[in-house]
Amino acid sequence: MTISTDLKEPDALRGLAKFRVKWPWLDHLLATHERYSQERGNLYAGGITYFSVLGIFPLLMVGFAIAGVFLFSRPELLVDIQNQIVAKVPGSMGEQVSQLVETAVKQRSAVGVIGLLTALYSGLGWIGNLRDGLTAQWAIPLQAENFLKKKGKDLLALLGLFLAFVVAFGLTMISSSGLMEKVVGWLQLSHVPGMQVLLTVVSLLVSALAIWVVMIWVIGYLPRKHAEPRASLVAATGATVLLVIWIRVAAIYVKSVLSSPAGVVFGPIIGIMVFLFFTWRIILFCTAWAATSQRALRGDVAAKRSETDRDEKSKAASLSVVAAAAVKERENND
């Protein structure tokens, strides 16, 4: 029985190889899975999730504390921002985030230099691990780098990601603040049949655009190696679609996790970690998709060829120097 199974395995592999040749998208998908598995995508997703919980929450605390200082005279705007963020968090995790925001705003006067430095340290640790995980999907070995130089690059990446989040949040506010309804009313188009459906669709598209802005930065610019632009755009689009679907599914899935024995014992934090874990898996898998695209692979081959040429030229130059030294020494001896 074992012999027949072993004999069938090569046939199955040959059949799969034929399908990979016939359907390039299947070949790319399987290559993505292979790269994701070889570069320990799940392990990186778990590590990034851990550092996300440690790093993001201090940053959120400081961010909302600063917002509370500047928006102290506009409490209604601060409440609106809080409601928008909580609305985007699936399931009962919104209550946890809401409590976090309220605590940060109430304790805004307690945030000083130490709080900012703590949040910055946590944020740099988080962004560093995120960049390492994204870089690994490009199959690039992590090289030793000057500590201060590396942290400086991580700080710039963190600031860039923060700006991407600001842009995304601004788009989300536009789609959810009733601005579009006011514009429709001003144009006197409220009575047009299907207008409410159209507004809902536009709102979803704007929310997806907000996620896409963040994904472009994460997949295209956060890896420590410059990613292939077109492949990164395609991967960012795919990640956006998957994340929009996942956010909808997570509201149901996380609720079931929170009602499980582990959820009862550990509370909402287990739901947050489950949500983040699958989110980072999606992002890392889409990064592997970009890294295994034909354009990216051709770029890797060209880079390796260029590196080989440089090595050969360096060796040739070294041999020339040695040969010249040998000739000169022989002339001196003569």
Q: pLDDT digits over 296-310, tens only?
A: 666 554 444 444 444
In this prediction, what percent of the chain has a pLDDT beyond 70?
A: 64
Phi/psi for 245 (5° steps) reads -65, -45
pLDDT in tens, 6-52: 545 566 667 677 777 778 888 899 999 999 999 999 999 999 998 88
Higher pLDDT, 131 or 147: 131
In this prediction, residue 222 carries a pLDDT of 92
Q: Which residues of 26-63 are buried (b: 16+ CB within 10 A; e: fewer)?
A: ebeeebbeebbeebebeebbbbbbebbeebbbbbbbbb
Residue 157 has pLDDT above 60, yes or no: yes
Higher pLDDT, 128 or 182: 128
pLDDT in tens, 63-89: 777 776 666 667 776 677 667 666 666
In this prediction, residue 123 carries a pLDDT of 85
Q: Tell me the mean pLDDT in the region 174-187.
A: 68
Mean pLDDT of the chain: 76
In this prediction, residue 1 carries a pLDDT of 41
Question: Rounded to 5 degrees, what angle do the CA atoms 138, 142, 144 make?
Answer: 155
pTM surpassing 0.85? no
pLDDT band at residue 91, thresholds of 50, 70 and 90? low
In this prediction, residue 308 carries a pLDDT of 43
Residue 133 has pLDDT above 80, yes or no: yes
What is the C-alpha end-to-end distance of the chain, expressed in Å? 80
Using CA atoms, how far apart are residues 314 and 307, in angstroms rounded to an integer? 10
In this prediction, residue 156 carries a pLDDT of 92
Higher pLDDT, 58 or 248: 248
- When mean pLDDT is compared across 87-91, 253-257, 281-285, 311-315, the lowest value belongs to 311-315
Residue 57 has pLDDT above 60, yes or no: yes
In this prediction, residue 255 carries a pLDDT of 75
